[in-house]
Chains A and B, each alone.
Chain A
Amino acid sequence: MSAAAPKRHVKRARTTQFFALAGVTALSLAASTAMINLLAERFATRLDVTATGEQQLAPRTTQLLSQLAGSTQFIVAADFRTIDPRAKQYVTDVTDEMAARSREFSATLIDTGSSRGVADFKSTIAGLVQRDKAILDAHAAAMEAAGQTATRVSQALSQGIEPEFGKLAQAGFATPTLRTYANQAAAVLRLRGSDLADASARVKQQMTPDDLGLPRLDEAQRTLLERLEQAASDLSALSRDVRRLSQDATTPSQATQQLTAIAGQLDAQRDATLAQLGKLRELKRPDLLRVAAALRTGAAALLVGPSGTDGASSLVALDMGQLLPSGAWLDATEASRGDQRRRVEELLAAALASVLTPSKPIVVFTHAELRAFMDEAPVIDAMRERLGLRGVDFVEWAVVTQDAPAIATVDPTLSRPVVYVVISPDSAARSETGAMSGTQRAAKLAQTVTSLREKQSNVLVCLLPSMLPGFGEKDPIAAALEAYGVNARTGTPLLTRVSTPQFSYAENERVVQTTEGGEHVIASAVRGLPTYMTWCVPVELASDARGWRGSAVLTTPMDAQTWGESQWLRVYQTPREQVPLIPDQPKFDEGRDVKGGSGAWTLAVATEKDAQRAVIVGSNSWITDKYSQQMGTVEGRQTLLFPGNVELFEASVLWLAGQDTMIAQSPAARSVAMVRGIESASLTKLRWSIVLGLPGLVLVVGVMYGLTRK
């Protein structure tokens, strides 16, 4: 008893010691863990390991940079204290990379919120003044010449014509009416003469360079335009009144001769004034003036391209909100660094393209609907906006109601390339009361296509299946395309048998992804990019091409499940979600349908003959926002699911506008890699070899290992 007590005591003491030690150790471990995590949170470094172009420029950007023929400067003026540092970082990341790629590209960030800002602003403008000196001098010379004209007209009015009216008023034969009129006319001429003399003096002052070395050309031009317009208007009115007065029966015969002579002088001065006005109006404003004006506002982003000899527009303003978005916006998008960088690159690439494109194309959206609808139903707004960034304008032409497109509204000189995007109508549409039916409208559109071909216009034709071949008639649009050396099988659109656990039905929508062939420049732009298409019509290059040279730009592999169906109308007229419920689904019929072999269906071709070009696409809804702008989350970021739609349209428009060198995949398009189209049988084999092959192999190795050990 007495021996056990000390033992228990010793054991208790040791236990206490152990748990105390363990407790301290556990607490230390927990505290260390908490401390390390707190520090790690505070000083966290996030490494974006996405290789999707963190430091790589897209092919299009690289191509655009390689085309820069002269100094191109990207200038951003902003109070960077108010800009999210991340937004600024994205911009500098991209511009650094672009500057590294091209010697002609440089970027200047002017921080208007810092003391250096004013100095940076002045030195930037001084550099541009030096670069554009010849253009500025020419502009100043034109302004001085206009000022001299103003002086000459002023002198002619006040020293030549005004005294004539004075003499007339003083003449003995003058009637009271004539006298009053002559006095009033003399007063008007005195006023205009004085105005013009004053304008001329002000212009001389405005030609003196300011602190930036820039003459105030804008103000001078405004002054001259204002005064000369007023003078021309008054001179016209006076000339008209004087002639009327000279022909008036109450006017004394002695005055008639004098009035006629005065009218002649008034006309001469009016014509001189109008001629000078015309020259002033035609004078292109040097970009530098716009740059300076924009930068003076303290918040501007401009891409200043190389100047032409005439000071032609090579300036593009970028949306500051898009270029340098707020921190809240950046947080809300949850887009990765790579995506933000791509967004900036896309903006700059579009601006570069705009600077480089000598003449921006006009897209004439041509259709045979019963009325113009683009403004009411914005079906291609996103596409318009995207091309709008590159200076491309859209004009709608509803051929059923309009004889010709109003191109002059966007291009008064009619000098820009025009691309006609022709959208086939729904041939199955019933006619409204008094209106044309679908087939009639198709015929009308076919006439338009033929007429455009005869006028050597370049067209992008988007086809829709036609029910006419089903009735033994020829689809007029397909017939019109034969002249382009293209056979469009509009009577047999492609359907694919799709089997789900519940249904087996004929699907008309497909994702097309061309991976092979296609040497054409459009094919290279869309290669590998998924393109969403509905109601696809196979298009083939005819053996009798009539001098046209064509290439396939979009193909999809033939497989056992896909065929060209002639009895498609019922599926077409059924809402898509109800198609699987159709009891008697279309099936391939050897007698009337078309089946492919082992090659590929061609869904789009590009063809040309001499300088004329055409792109024929066997689907017509692919350009709509509904399909082209579908977004999805890939690797946690929002991206276009079918970039091929946008790229196909953009590349087609540029190719048809003759701007082949501008075509390449854009930053947005390359943002996501896609699984290629794989033939159904190969895919099945691949899948099962992964699902069963790999585990099977492990088991076999395990068995062999076990046997070896025994």
Chain B
Amino acid sequence: MDFFLSLWSFMASRGDEIQTGLIEHSIYVVSVLLSAGLFSITTGILTRRNVLAKELALSITSIFLTLPSLALFTIFIPLVGLGFAPSFIALFLYSLLPILRNTITGLDGIDYSVLDAARGMGMAPRQVLLRVQLPLAWPVILAGIRVSAMLIVGIAAIATLVAGGGLGDFIKDGLARLPLANSLESIWAGTLLCVLLALVIDLALQLLKRATISRGIR
């Protein structure tokens, strides 16, 4: 009970820092989701007719996911310096696989007869893609985006180690000052805020899903 009270007072006294942390963290999530989403969906579309290209793209993106996150955040420092850039690159590479895999699964999973009918009625390839394939694959793609979003919220906490800011700052500070006063509180504050941010983002994606997926395939 005492700990909750001290955690609460710790957080109440760090309003500004919390705000900064949340904003920095959110910037990572949004910018990475947008860029990785665009990249992965495009890659999925471009490779959809070529099994070899598809497999290659999946293999490469899954390699990124096996790299230790600490390493991935640091190896780009010589190229781009400290701060936002190396963190962004690491998070971008991490979030490719779930979206790419789901884009490919979503496009592959469309009932062949629907595509046959679409072409048979005289839709040009681009119209088939935009009016039939992407809308039908979208629920699966969006599920991939959600997985990536959760992944980014968690891993973005490491950005602090390359001076990238975010909610990881609380955790790192706490860790550095352990077992001094407020150190544990700081770690918990960072963790809870990450969970909270994840929930909010998940909710936002749920709303996006409601708004963008046709009632016919919900």
Same assembly? no
Query: Interface of A with B (CB < 8 Å)?
Result: none
Query: Interface of B with A (CB < 8 Å)?
Result: none
